[in-house]
Structure 1
Amino acid sequence: MGTVEPYETSGGRRYRVRYRKPDRSQTDKRGFKTKRSAEEYLATIEVSKLRGEWMDPTKSKVTVGEWARPWYLAHSELKPTTLFGYDQALRKHVLPRWAKTRLNDVSHSDVQSWVTSLSATHGGSSVKQTYLVLAGIFKFAARDGLVVRNPCEGIRLPRILKKERGYLSHEQVAKLAKSAGDQGDVVLLLAYTGIRWGELAALKVERVDPVKRRINIVEAITEPNGTIVWGTPKSHARRSVPFPEFLDTVIARHMSGKHRSDLMFTAPKGGVLRNSQFRKRRFDRAVAELTAADPQFPRVTPHDLRHTAASLAVSAGAHVKSLQRMLGHASAAMTLDVYADLFDDDLDAVAAALNDRAVSSSVGEMWAKVSIENSEPRKKEKP
């Protein structure tokens, strides 16, 4: 237990509370005008320690803005694009609202009001990403004992409406590749392998095995704020991706005369092929031309070709596990979640297969016999 001790000041008698922190070090708080108020304070301290809710008073004045930087620096292992997203959320939304607010002064209702106001002007996905940054700051603060409870827990977030994907057919992929001109090979490779743009831009000659028809994804490029950064693929997972036989000539064309360490695809003037330049020079124009000629042609982006690759693979009979490995997803469950709509037809196929198996088996014969017996009129029993 702590103690309450009186001491004299020019303004009269005051009381000091001495107590031990959970780590057994001693501290005190001065300035109480009455012994009763000092004893009440000491009682609350002891109760908070017993409940595991005690917090060091020296940390209670830390603001969200002061704690945001150590939280951000603690995530140095993340991808540059992810860190750039965190930085954008901090500068645009989190710090303008919370920078000068003490961590312990932020309530659950304050956070909910903030999220609701953001939802009025921003999409659900953007609001969620911004909220996760603030929630991460408070989670980090709770682990360090700066707050007792995380006010971001249990916040109601806006619903994220999934954008309808534009899956291209084989014929539409061919049209898009042709319309893209000298960059048509890029369209074909993206649409028939499902690799990400950053993986294609970083692809080197030595990573392609034309005999086994495999592309080894080892590196990837990101462009946070327009700066090219080399790194590992998403989730740091390497993988081997197959490509169909008809792409042999495409692959050979981009390997010819190059050194093993050269890039497979480059910008017109050399160097890394950037997504923004590719879209501006070829892709967006090609899509615009095709949609003008055929309003039913999907308005796709280069990333949507990854979805097309998934669609074409499923239509060719690819198993979900094979699709997961091809796309580089963390699990088959993730693949099913992302592309659940592609597997809807599988349900019909399963039902049809079960029906065929049942009809051709003893189960089908037995059930048919039971059905006939049930359909025959029953004889009335004699009284």
Structure 2
Amino acid sequence: MARVVDLWHNRDRTRTSRYGTGQRWQAVWFEDGKPRKKSCPTKAAAEEHLVWVTHQQKTGAYVSADRGRVFVRDLLDAWMDAQVHLRASTAAAMRSDVRATILPYWGDRVLADITKDDVQRWVAGMGKAARTVDTIHGRLNNFLSWCVDQQRITVNPARGVNLPRGAKREHQFLTVAQVRALAEAIDGRYADLVWLLATTGMRMGEACELRWKDVDLRRRRLTVARAVVFVQGRPVVGPPKSGKPRTIPLTTMAASVLAERRGTAGGDELVFTTSRGMQVRANNFKRRHFDDAVARVNGVPDGARVPAGLWVHDLRHTAASWAVQSGASVKSVQRMLGHATAAMTLDVYAGLFDQDLDDVAVRLDALLAA
């Protein structure tokens, strides 16, 4: 039975050996038939704690302190194994982040002892880009939320932590002349890849996993059904970022280029490979070929210069801008890029649709004049 004990006095009001030492009052309750104790400075505080314990036990929300007395490293594998809803590439990236950042720092910490201040200090001292910090903190936050659900702890100490803010990078939109210059400056085996990215809006991971069975040259269509990422040097193939396959139209030029490129390649063969016939890795492609092409283009006097620090992903932004300039609707651009909703497309590329606002004004002027 729960009770409050006076540690300084016996029942006959004589002083105990602990009189004047430590906190006077102690809350005592039972958990799975075993007594639990908590010292408090006042009798009211001890009684309040017992009321809280009783309520938590009755509602099923009570968490035994012993369940949190476990090392973080002993729970991480169970948490990661439970993330069955993640795409294969996302799960692989998660495991990589856990091994590299969370396990070394938090592995030997007792779960119940982690405080919000501990997490805040970890975030502040990480010394990584704001976006990376946000991602890694998100991993720990998800793990600790899982621990709450497993009734290991009562609150998530990673929730509400202040995260660094990074300057949002502006999208870069290239002209046809700039893309042509890049395609001419890059290693010849990747010129077609530059044009494909700039005219279809494919993500690099999708293009690296594109196979000839996904290309329908007769209908001038290609299907984006998979994407690849490399984690710890190993390829992990999964569905596209949206989780669903999509069909993209090919320009006449892109279709003819791919027709010339195919030759006798079989349906399961990759459309783009390295000089050794291996699958292209996005990071290696950027470092070894794309960045060099940018430098060559900008090194030509009076040439079609491109923004310094250009990303391969900017070719996807370029494809979106060209589609809008050609008169494509928001819905068409959404389907081409594989966004979940048209609202997402507008959020990302709102500035590209400014012309639509001018068109509204022109139509209203015509209506009013009539």
Of residues 348-357 and 227-236 in structure 1, the stretch that sits farther from structure 2 once superposed is 348-357
| Distance (whole Å) between structure 2 residues aligned to residue 196 and residue 259 of structure 1 | 23
When normalised by structure 2's length, the TM-score is: 0.81
When normalised by structure 1's length, the TM-score is: 0.79
Does residue 1:332 correspond to 2:309, yes or no? no
Determine which of 25, 32, 35 is the counterpart of 1:29: 35
Determine which of 80, 83, 97 is the counterpart of 1:75: 83
Structure 1 segment 48-67 matched on structure 2, within 5 A: 48-50=56-58, 53-67=61-75
Q: Which amino acid aligns with 1:337?
A: D
Residue of structure 1 in register with 2:307 after alignment = 298
| Distance (whole Å) between structure 1 residues aligned to residue 37 and residue 359 of structure 2 | 78
| Distance (whole Å) between structure 2 residues aligned to residue 279 and residue 89 of structure 1 | 22
- The CA deviation string for residues 70-119 of structure 1, in whole angstroms up to 9 with x for no partner, is 2122224534442343234334433343333333322333323332333x
Cα pair distance change 1:295/1:54, threshold 3 Å? same
| Distance (whole Å) between structure 2 residues aligned to residue 267 and residue 97 of structure 1 | 38
Helix, strand or coil: the match of 1:157? coil
| Distance (whole Å) between structure 2 residues aligned to residue 92 and residue 281 of structure 1 | 25
Residue of structure 2 in register with 1:114 after alignment = 122
Does residue 1:246 correspond to 2:256, yes or no? no
Structure 1 segment 220-369 matched on structure 2, within 5 A: 220-293=227-300, 294=303, 296-299=305-308, 300-358=310-368, 360-361=369-370
Structure 1 runs not aligned, ≥5 long? 5-14, 362-383
Residue of structure 2 in register with 1:189 after alignment = 196
Q: Which amino acid aligns with 1:190?
A: L
| Distance (whole Å) between structure 2 residues aligned to residue 94 and residue 80 of structure 1 | 20
Structure 2 runs not aligned, ≥5 long? 5-25
Cα pair distance change 1:331/1:27, threshold 3 Å? farther
Check conservation: 1:18, 1:27, Cα contact below 8 A: no
Cα pair distance change 1:30/1:166, threshold 3 Å? closer
Residue of structure 2 in register with 1:373 after alignment = none
| Distance (whole Å) between structure 2 residues aligned to residue 156 and residue 51 of structure 1 | 32
Structure 1 segment 95-134 matched on structure 2, within 5 A: 95-118=103-126, 121-134=127-140
Helix, strand or coil: the match of 2:33? strand
Cα pair distance change 1:2/1:346, threshold 3 Å? same
| Distance (whole Å) between structure 2 residues aligned to residue 250 and residue 133 of structure 1 | 43
Q: Which amino acid aligns with 2:153?
A: V
Taking only aligned residues, the RMSD between alpha carbons, in angstroms, comes to 3.1
Check conservation: 2:96, 2:232, Cα contact below 8 A: no
Alignment size in residue pairs: 342
Q: Percent identity?
A: 35
Of residues 253-262 and 187-196 in structure 1, the stretch that sits farther from structure 2 once superposed is 253-262
Deviation of the 1:185 alpha carbon = 0.8
| Distance (whole Å) between structure 2 residues aligned to residue 297 and residue 56 of structure 1 | 61
Check conservation: 1:16, 1:28, Cα contact below 8 A: no
